Amino acid sequence: MIDDVYVIGVGMHPFQRVSPPMRDMAYTAGKAALDDAGIKFRDVGELYNGYLGGNLLEGISYAKDFGLNNASITHVENASATGSTAFREAVRAVRSGDCEIAMALGFDDMMKMGMSMMKMMSGEAPKIDSIILPAGFFAMWATRRMYEQGTTVETFAKIAAKNWNHARFNPYAQRQSKTEVTVEEILASSPVAYPHTSKMACAAGGGAACAIVTTKKMAQKLANGRPLVKVIGSQSKSEHYTDGHIFMGAVVGPADLTTRTTQALYEQSGVGPKDVSFVHVHDAFPIEELMYYELMGFCGEGEGDRLVAEGATSLGGRIPFSPDGGLIARGHPGGPTGLAQVWDTVTQLRGEAGKRQVEGARNGMVHMMGAGSICVMHMLQKEG
């Protein structure tokens, strides 16, 4: 059993509404990660391909573009948490001693996938989670929050504007505004499901992202003067029964699923909320991010609105959330989303994030939900 696992390479293909073929995006992200790590594909022992759409053995076919090396290649699918799960499997492969270097590659095109799913479901009997789209469920959470805590639409708009403005400094983000995005612009965009507008909704499109992990010995050999980034925690939990449990359609799932996974991650890593430098979350709509402030222990119940008002979760604030723009602005293609979070986290911990750099970043936490039924989280740390 290997105790220490390190990220030695990350790479991305830009997230785009209209994207090139998935094969091209996958190759771009994978090659970038291999170059970043300073290795060749022949050095990789296991590859985990994360994608929701695609055809039979598509990931194995794409891997051939990197070369033929006898590596174990596995397709991973876990809804929105697909990329995060692929990364977790790569970490586990190295930690178990099965291989010295493992690679997690995510790719998808949500626009093409959405059209395919509509055709496939056209002849089926309606189900609650197809009648009520994710936007509807998130809207229910938001209006309930407004009723119980007095949250305003402006608070949701501030979260969205923050993420749009973070994405301005992310060259791989789908939504890159040339000027600062205001709360008024967010509110003025077309309505989706009250209280959310189109600029509050996650950006759907295509893209790819990749991360490569290895042992401490190999990481030190390949460091090339850069800080080492260690995976100090990896947790995955599924839902359990709670009062009022909904088995279909509740995209964000039981609230305590995130809380339980977060607590397990804190215990495993030895890092608490006061030690975390920045956070990536599944922010498909602003209500999610607002909820996670509290569910992850960064403030008490009902106090998330105050964090937004104070600017605590913006770059330069006490605990920045989604410094790369998050799902709302960086984008959410599906398979690569969680790996894009890892890309930014590693970039931040190395001090290579440029204008979106979190000052003094030491511990980065990443979180993704998979259709409300699975929660996958990691804690990465800058060593030294």
What CATH code is carried by the domain that includes residue 22?
3.40.47.10
pLDDT of residue 130: 52
154-to-144, 184, 186, 292, 322 alpha-carbon distances in Å: 15, 9, 9, 18, 19
Indicate the pTM of the whole model: 0.94
pLDDT of residue 240: 80
Report the chain's mean pLDDT, rounded to a whole number. Answer: 92
Q: What is the mean pLDDT of residues 26-43?
A: 98
Quick: pLDDT tens for 82-110: 999 999 999 999 999 999 999 999 999 98
Residue with tokens 């967010």: 186
- Note whether residue 28 is domain-resident: yes
CA dist., res. 63 & res. 34, Å (int): 13
Residue 104 tokens read as 């997690």
82-to-36, 108, 379 alpha-carbon distances in Å: 23, 10, 17
Q: Which residues are within 8 A (CB) of 204 and not within 5 positions of it... i.e. 6 or more apart?
A: 17, 110, 111, 114, 331, 332, 333
CA dist., res. 264 & res. 240, Å (int): 15
Residue 255 tokens read as 């609230």
pLDDT of residue 60: 95
Q: What is the mean pLDDT of residues 3-17?
A: 96
Q: Which residues are within 8 A (CB) of 341 and not within 5 positions of it... i.e. 6 or more apart?
A: 83, 84, 280, 324, 366, 368
pLDDT band of residue 134 (cuts 50, 70, 90) is: confident
**Between residues 333 and 244, which one has the greater pLDDT?**
333
CA dist., res. 262 & res. 293, Å (int): 11
78 has a pLDDT exceeding 90: yes
Quick: pLDDT tens for 283-302: 999 999 999 999 999 999 99
- Note whether residue 178 is domain-resident: no
- Note whether residue 162 is domain-resident: no
Q: What's the structural domain count of the chain?
A: 1
pLDDT of residue 205: 95
- Tell me how many degrees the CA angle 248-250-256 measures, rounded to the nearest 5: 120
pLDDT band of residue 323 (cuts 50, 70, 90) is: very high
- Note whether residue 109 is domain-resident: yes
pLDDT of residue 258: 93
131 has a pLDDT exceeding 80: no
- Note whether residue 255 is domain-resident: no
- Note whether residue 195 is domain-resident: no
124 has a pLDDT exceeding 70: no
pLDDT band of residue 133 (cuts 50, 70, 90) is: confident
CA quadruple 333, 317, 147, 280: dihedral sign: positive
Domain extent for 17: 5-113+204-222
- Return the number of other C-beta atoms located less than 10 Å from residue 75's C-beta: 16
- Note whether residue 118 is domain-resident: no
115 has a pLDDT exceeding 90: no
Closest by CA position to 251, among listed 110, 53, 81:
81
CA dist., res. 327 & res. 337, Å (int): 8
Q: What is the mean pLDDT of residues 104-130?
A: 65
Q: Is 336 exposed, middle or buried (0-12, 13-18, 19+ CB in 10 A)?
A: buried
- Note whether residue 212 is domain-resident: yes
**Residues above pLDDT 70, as percent of the chain:** 91
Closest by CA position to 181, among listed 196, 167, 192, 195:
167
pLDDT band of residue 121 (cuts 50, 70, 90) is: very low
Alpha carbon 79 to chain centroid, angstroms: 12
254 has a pLDDT exceeding 80: no
pLDDT of residue 55: 84
pLDDT of residue 256: 85
Q: Which residues are within 8 A (CB) of 111 and not within 5 positions of it... i.e. 6 or more apart?
A: 17, 18, 19, 204, 205, 206
State which H helix or E strand residue 206 sits in.
strand 206-215
**Residues above pLDDT 90, as percent of the chain:** 83
310 has a pLDDT exceeding 90: yes
pLDDT of residue 249: 45
pLDDT of residue 10: 98
